Structure 1
Amino acid sequence: MSELRCLVLGAGGFIGTNLCLALRARDVPVTGFGRGDAPAVLADIDWVRGTLEQVPSLDTLIAGHDIVFDLIGAGLPNSSNDNPAQLVADAVPAKVRLLEACRRQGVRRFLFASSGGTVYGVTGTRAVNEDAPTEPISAYGIGKLVVEKYLSLYAHLHGLDSRVLRIANAFGPHQNPDRGQGLIAAIMQRLLDGAPIEIWGAGDVVRDYIHIDDVVAAMLALRDHEGPGRIFNVGSGIGRSVAEVLDDAARITSRAPRLVRRPARAADVPVNILDSARLTRETGWRPHTGWDDGLRDTAAWIAARQEAG
């Protein structure tokens, strides 16, 4: 599938920017779609500005593309419970209209960025695989599962081929630390600025952190995948607490953190670690970016961004 034309929805975001860069580096024809102008690093690719709700014609947007990557999120996990009905009203109808357009335009494969950190809910301390129960405790996680179910329906009714990536906590270059997502990016920026760092609860919430290069590699592997699986975890399989991340980031940057303690948040799953054995078994994928190396290149990108103004 290497020469098939790709459409990246949400191309101006963290994952989308990195995916577009990887596709361009491989000379894959790609169109980016985002609510704003193309990031400077993507100035030389085809770009369409808009939102799924406002674009004049989804069929026109989709036409001529063989592969569609849907990276468009709906809100943030920790704020989604403030207005669950609004999240569903905003996200689900647009996604269904998108799938209808993909069906009509004969898209060969639809790849959806779901959330391995929220769809499973409270899991205990062991790594979870794709067969684990899904009991999210945030409207954000429920919204992701709704799209997953619609993909299953469209495969059954119309043969729309899809892959779901349940991605862990991705980090790395091009993650904007000001957008409310990305613990590592936020910590790095505050350490480099000498600014206080907010910690919610005791700092014992455990997450699975995966470098963006490994996430993109999983997406490219599943673009070409021909195995039996349709839903895949994408994670490192290693759990790290907020306190551990903070200590390691301080070590990498040689900066002492100033902490501000906040109450624990109800939408924070205590422990989330992903078992990605299915992805490895069916594609040969495995994470390659070391933890310290990933922290260093994240810090270097944020420092360069600050210097550029």
Structure 2
Amino acid sequence: MKGARCLVLGAGGFIGTNLCLALRAAGIDTTGFGRKSRPPPALAGLDRMLWLAGSIESLSDPDALVAGHTHVFDLIGAGLPNSSNDNPAQIVADGLPPKVRLLEACRRQGVQRTVFASSGGTVYGPAGDAPIPETAATEPISAYGIGKLTVEKYLALYRHLYGLEYRVLRIANAYGQHQDPNREQGLVAAVLHRLLGAGAIPLWGDGAVIRDYLHIDDVVAAFLAVAFLEAEPGADASRLFNVGSGIGRSVLSVIEDAARVTGCRPILDRHPGRSGDVAVNILDSTRLQRETGWGPRVGWEDGLARTAAWLRTPR
């Protein structure tokens, strides 16, 4: 980490806020880039933390943004998984050209390593086996997942052509502090928020969809592990890592566990199932654990309790 200077794209979001906090706690000079004119309250006033406002889609000079940074964390996604199929062409138009321009800037400016937040929940599609290894077939059933997978391929291309070093994290369903409970993305935060008094919990389908949930502290630890690992992998495949707990939980079981932790009775608002939802998605993170020593540290019920406590805290 010595001498590192990091640029976090999407720094105003859930993962971005937590990543910036962790980078600064490690003493790393950090630039946050986000859509809002000011940083989130959690990042305001941090020492050696620069905030730049803008959108990657309208960025006129990506070289100026990237210049001087050793590491670039790309946490920006085009659209949301469950609504991306409503307008697949827009996902391509909004998401792909800015990413390629960003890679061009990283190449020209001599960035040491880029780290891309991909989606372990959408790039595999309806995989047969679970937990899913990185070697499984990628057959996304959402435009969002296809967009993430396409960026992964461009990263590999730029390393092949120009030697631009990268890491990809295919992340499970992250939850924890600083997640907006009112967004379409983020089941745990939404369930806890509604249990704590915000109203009925939307339930899509029968609630049997199974996902892999991982606390944000463990997600951020994975980012730091792959960003600053000194040894270079011997094969391209080792630049790609799943990040998950390896444990599957149905939507209904998440609601039940959250209700038990909070002591609140859930009220369900039922809706038809969604076309972009695969039935089961559990990630095998053995490769990440083997090559970096990373492993989940936050237990499920402890993570729920910590998230509920954060949501209860006045802000």
5+ unaligned residues in a row in structure 1: which ranges?
Answer: none
Letter in 2 for 1:62: V
Please show how residues 1-309 of structure 1 align to structure 2 within 5 Å.
1-36=1-36, 37-44=38-45, 45-124=49-128, 126-193=130-197, 195-225=199-229, 226-228=231-233, 229-304=238-313, 307-308=314-315
Percent of residue pairs bearing the same amino acid type: 65
SS in 1 for 2:22: helix
d(CA) in 1 for partners of 2:81, 2:91? 11
Segments of 4+ moved more than 2 angstroms: none
Q: CA deviation at 1:279?
A: 0.2
Secondary structure of residue in 1 paired with 2:169: strand
Instruction: State the AA in 2 paired with 1:171.
Output: Y
Report deviation, 1:41.
1.4
**Contact between 1:194 and 1:257, CA under 8 Å: does it hold in 2?**
no
Mapped partners of 1:160, 1:55: distance in 2: 21
1:179 Cα deviation after fit: 1.6
Contact preservation (8 Å) 1:23, 1:29? yes
Q: Take 1:230 and 1:125, find their aligned partners in 2: how far apart are those partners?
A: 22
Give the AA of the match of 2:278: V
Return the offset for 1:138: 0.2
In the alignment, the residues of structure 2 paired with residue 124 and residue 227 of structure 1 have an alpha-carbon distance, to the nearest angstrom, of 31
Shift in Å, 1:57? 1.2
Deviation at 1:74, TM superposition (A): 0.8
Q: How far does the alpha carbon of each residue in 1:63-91 deviate from its partner, in whole angstroms, 9 at most, with x for none?
A: 00000000001100000000001100110
Aligned length: 306
User: 3-state DSSP class of the match of 1:40?
Assistant: coil
Gaps of 5+ in 2: none
Paired with 1:124 and 1:246, the residues of 2 have a C-alpha distance of 26
Change in Cα spacing, 1:194 to 1:41, as seen in structure 2 (3 Å) is closer
Q: Check 1:101–1:257 CA distance in 2 against 1; reply closer, same or farther (3 A cut).
A: same
State the Cα distance separating 1:55 from its structure 2 match. Answer: 2.6
Q: Match for 2:87: what amino acid?
A: N
AA aligned to 1:218 is: A
Over aligned residues, Cα RMSD in angstroms? 0.9
- Cα distance, 1:3 vs. partner? 2.9
User: What's the CA shift for 1:25?
Assistant: 0.7
Return the offset for 1:194.
Answer: 5.1
Q: What is the TM-score of this pair, normalised by structure 1?
A: 0.97
- Partners of 1:18 and 1:214 lie apart in 2 by 11
SS of the counterpart of 1:210? strand
Report the Cα distance in structure 2 between the residues aligned to 1:209 and 1:266, rounded to whole angstroms.
21
Distance of 1:182 and 1:199 partners within structure 2 = 13
